[in-house]
Chains A and B, each alone.
Chain A
Amino acid sequence: MASVLYYILILFVLLFIFLALIPSLKQKAYYEILVATCLFLIGLSYGVDYALQSSILPNPNKFLAMFKPVYQAFSGFFEIK
């Protein structure tokens, strides 16, 4: 059902253009447009990656997985089952 995300992404692109991009261009808030567009592109690229099930992009959960040895030591000390 990941392909349903394509429609959601299209909806978000349209919403972003009409609710964020056009008003910002009218206000000439270029720095805000830059930051918002960068964030949007990150979300969009991860969305496409998820919909394609290709896993090309680095998974952010790797950052959480880094805490595995810390958790093992923690659970060993505190006798967590």
Chain B
Amino acid sequence: MENRPISSQQFSALLFLLLIGSVLVYVPGITAAQSAWIAILAGAVIGIWVLYAVISLHEMFPGQRITQISTLVLGKVPGTILNILFLWSIFIFACGLLYDFYILLNFINPAIAVEVLCFIIILTCVYCLYQGLNIIGRLGELSVWISLIFLILGIGIALPLADFSNLKPLASAWKPLAAGTFFSADWPFAIVVVLGLFLPLVATIKEHTKQIYGWYLISALLLAILSAETLAILGPELSESTRFPLFLIYRLIGFGEFRRLELIFLFLWLISGITPIIILYQGLNFIVQDIFRLKDYIKLILPLGLVLGVFTLYMFPSDMLYDILENKYSPLFTFPVNFLYPTLLLLAAGIQKKRASSKSTPGSAPARPEKPSLPATRPR
């Protein structure tokens, strides 16, 4: 238990919160307009391959993180280069999530400066990480059901506002749909690659693989339903142009005198918003630890937190620049890295395993004639 602080149940909860929390602030695959929900389902298929590759790699190399497998399978130099690309990709995701989260908090409470909000989030994450990995698992386990209830409740009470004619025509053009699939596969689905860093810490993963895939599919389905509902209520144009479409929907909900129901859902945003940041932040700690071959990651928590916070402020000074860089340009880098990184490793590991087994199996190669053994006592 000491070596494996996260249970498979907690791991599944973290996977759910990683996927849901990453996209609560916008509609993924919105380039597909009214067909964004179809793009999400298609993107989930690509993401499931990434999850499969990561789990398969863990089964081939139990107890090793994906970054350690990389140098083991590909060699020190190519493996480290891939790890650096992976580090940058996860860093961009973490910056994007952090930015989204503090802008949302600033949207709710404009009196507090974004710099302060940014570092309040960072310090919360720092505190969580200093408590240990077990705490991250417990946080996931504790908040997954509450988040799920809030999510289903939100979908249910917003349903009367939906106008499903906004979802027509269905998949009218394949090109925007393909682009939407690409963008939704990038964020949130391909991000599951980061879980390859946590798998060695999970107990009894082999027996609970189905549970992990199950939670992945639940998340994908919920995201598709949530997106379809958002599009049905706001329409594709407003869904794209609004900064926080789901927040706007919860603002529109009300029963008679009861208004401002979005504040009830603040819990959902706070928990599911901060969990993916903690996961990615911890992922960055692991990657840097493996790149520099450090014994411990604890000393990296504060410096990486500072770098993450400052770089987010530095890289994205405005919403417009953020939209261009994070939502348009960065998927062209992050998706190939997050998709190809586990795929390449799985291929290389498969080839390596095949070669090793063909060498060791006597039936695969013509057997050498055995040397006649020497008699126990030589005749003189």
**Residues of A in contact with B (beta carbons under 8 Å apart):** 1-2, 4-5, 8-9, 12, 15-16, 19-20, 23-24, 29, 31-33, 35-37, 39-40, 42-44, 46-47, 49-50, 59-61, 63-65, 67-68, 70-71, 74-75, 77-81
Give A4 Cβ to nearest chain B Cβ, in Å: 5
For the A-B complex with A31-B294, A43-B310, A61-B321 known, give 17 more contacts whose Cβ atoms are closer than 8 Å: A4-B113, A4-B115, A5-B115, A8-B115, A9-B306, A29-B295, A29-B299, A40-B303, A42-B307, A61-B315, A63-B88, A64-B326, A70-B332, A71-B329, A71-B332, A75-B179, A80-B176
Tell me whether A8 and B303 are in contact (CB under 8 A): no
Tell me whether A20 and B315 are in contact (CB under 8 A): no
Q: Which residues of B contact A75 (CB under 8 A)?
A: 179, 328
Q: Check: B130 CB closer than 8 A to any chain A CB.
A: yes
Q: Taking chain A's interface residues, is the majority helix, strand, or loop, or is none over half, making it mixed?
A: helix
Q: Check: B178 CB closer than 8 A to any chain A CB.
A: yes
Give B328 Cβ to nearest chain A Cβ, in Å: 5
Tell me whether A49 and B314 are in contact (CB under 8 A): yes
User: Can you offer 8 A-B residue contacts whose CB atoms are under 8 A?
Assistant: A1-B113, A15-B126, A20-B303, A47-B306, A64-B333, A68-B329, A71-B332, A78-B31
Bound Cα distance A20, B304 (Å):
12
Bound Cα distance A77, B313 (Å):
33
Q: Which residues of A contact B332 (CB under 8 A)?
A: 67, 70-71, 74
Q: Which residue of B lies closest to A55 (CB)?
A: B314
Q: Taking chain B's interface residues, is the majority helix, strand, or loop, or is none over half, making it mixed?
A: helix
Partner of A50, one of B126, B301, B310, B333: B310
Bound Cα distance A23, B302 (Å):
13
Tell me whether B294 and A64 are in contact (CB under 8 A): no
Q: For B114, B115, B178, B292, which residue has the most chain A Cβ atoms within 10 angstroms?
A: B115
Partner of A39, one of B288, B296, B326, B329: B288
Give A34 Cβ to nearest chain B Cβ, in Å: 9
Q: Check: B316 CB closer than 8 A to any chain A CB.
A: yes
Bound Cα distance A32, B289 (Å):
9
Q: Which residue of B lies closest to A3 (CB)?
A: B115
Contact residues of B between 165 and 224, Cβ < 8 Å to A: 173, 175-176, 178-179, 182
Q: Which residues of B contact A32 (CB under 8 A)?
A: 294-296, 299
Partner of B119, one of A8, A60, A81: A8
Tell me whether B113 and A50 are in contact (CB under 8 A): no
Give B5 Cβ to nearest chain A Cβ, in Å: 21
Q: For B113, B304, B306, which residue has the most chain A Cβ atoms within 10 angstroms?
A: B306
Q: Which residues of A contact B114 (CB under 8 A)?
A: 1
Q: Which residues of A contact B333 (CB under 8 A)?
A: 64, 67
Bound Cα distance A8, B88 (Å):
25
Question: 9 tightest A-B contacts by CB?
Answer: A43-B306, A39-B303, A78-B179, A1-B113, A40-B303, A43-B307, A67-B329, A61-B315, A36-B299
Q: For B126, B130, B299, which residue has the most chain A Cβ atoms within 10 angstroms?
A: B299
Tell me whether A36 and B314 are in contact (CB under 8 A): no
Contacts A43-B307, A64-B329; A8 near B175 (Cβ below 8 A): no
Q: Check: B300 CB closer than 8 A to any chain A CB.
A: yes
